[in-house]
Amino acid sequence: MLRILALGLMIAGVAACTRVDDLDDAPVYLGNFHLGHNVVAAPNLQKGPLSREASKAAWIVAMRKAVDERFSRQEGTRLYHLGITLEAYVLARAGIPVVAAPKSVLVLKVTAWDDAVQARLNETPELITVIESLSGDTVVGSGLTRTAEEQMQVLTQKAAKLIENWLVRQNNAEGWFEDDGRPARSKARARAAQARAAASEEERMQAADKAALKKAQAQGAE
């Protein structure tokens, strides 16, 4: 696991940003998903090199909060459970600005469960590596600008977003959260066509209303 953590630190400089400030937006499409159990464990959590200290309990609380904030927005009616195991972390200490600004990293594994059939959806847990994104605060290393608690919040919020991205991909490819079990992407074209048709119909009705109003105004002027 520490090898994976080391790899994450190596590629941190080229890691893509992941937007996590979307909680006030409409939730992404996840079929009939409704969050059931939000289980987070850290039986073998390892602290990486040159990391600040953080307790297992603190990590579990932060991760559960981030998952709940993101997935409680889903309003489906079928229960699905998420089991998350926290594997390793680095909370960056203060480093040399710009030249050696350290990055914070969190490694975790995720399993999704279908409550109705009492079975896991993925036999092999999904491995997710979360790498701190660059920002105005972190370009010189978040160890200089953030407390350990703030670093944990950033990492767990990003982890929840990456879990969401994975679930969206699985639903698109395998229909995990579709009532009929069909991949969601196979329905995307139909949904888009329906949306276009509805928009066209609305535009037609608005045009008709405008024409009727214009005609009435012309008749009144006569």
Rounded-to-integer distance, Cα 194 and Cα 140, Å:
48
- Return per-residue pLDDT of the chain as tens, 222 residues: 555 555 444 444 434 456 677 898 889 999 999 999 999 999 999 999 889 999 999 999 999 999 999 999 999 999 999 999 999 999 998 764 544 556 899 999 999 999 999 999 999 999 999 998 755 454 444 546 789 999 999 999 999 999 999 999 999 999 999 999 999 888 765 465 555 555 565 565 566 656 665 665 665 565
Quote the pLDDT of residue 6.
52
Instruction: Tell me which residue of 136, 66, 141, 135 sits closest to 99, measured CA to CA.
Output: 141
Residue carrying structure tokens 């039986």: 43
- In the numeric block, the tokens 């119909």 are attached to 201
114 strand-pairing partners: 80, 119
Is the pTM of the predicted complex or chain greater than 0.85? no
Report the CATH fold assignment for 2-183: Rossmann fold (3.40.50)
User: For position 199, what pLDDT does the model report?
Assistant: 58
Q: What would the 3-class secondary structure string for the chain be?
A: CHHHHHHHHHCHHHCCCCCCCCCCCCCCCCCCEEEEEEEEECCCCEECCCECCCCHHHHHHHHHHHHHHHHCCCCCCEEEEEEEEEEEEECECCCCCCCCCCCCEEEEEEEEEECCCCEECCCCCEEEEEECCCCCCCCCCHHHHCCHHHHHHHHHHHHHHHHHHHHHHHHHHHCCCCCCCCCCHHHHHHHHHHHHHHHHHHHHHHHHHHHHHHHHHHHHHC
Torsion angle of the four alpha carbons 76, 157, 15, 168, in this order, in degrees rounded to the nearest 10: -10
Q: Give the count of alpha carbons within 13 A of 199, CB side only.
A: 6
Rounded to whole angstroms, the Cα distance separating 115 from 55 reads 31
Q: Which phi and psi (to 5°) does residue 87 adopt? A: -105, -45
- CA gap 135, 146 in Å, rounded: 12
Strands 126-131 and 46-47: unpaired
**Which residue in 2, 9, 53, 16 sits closest to 158, CA to CA?**
16
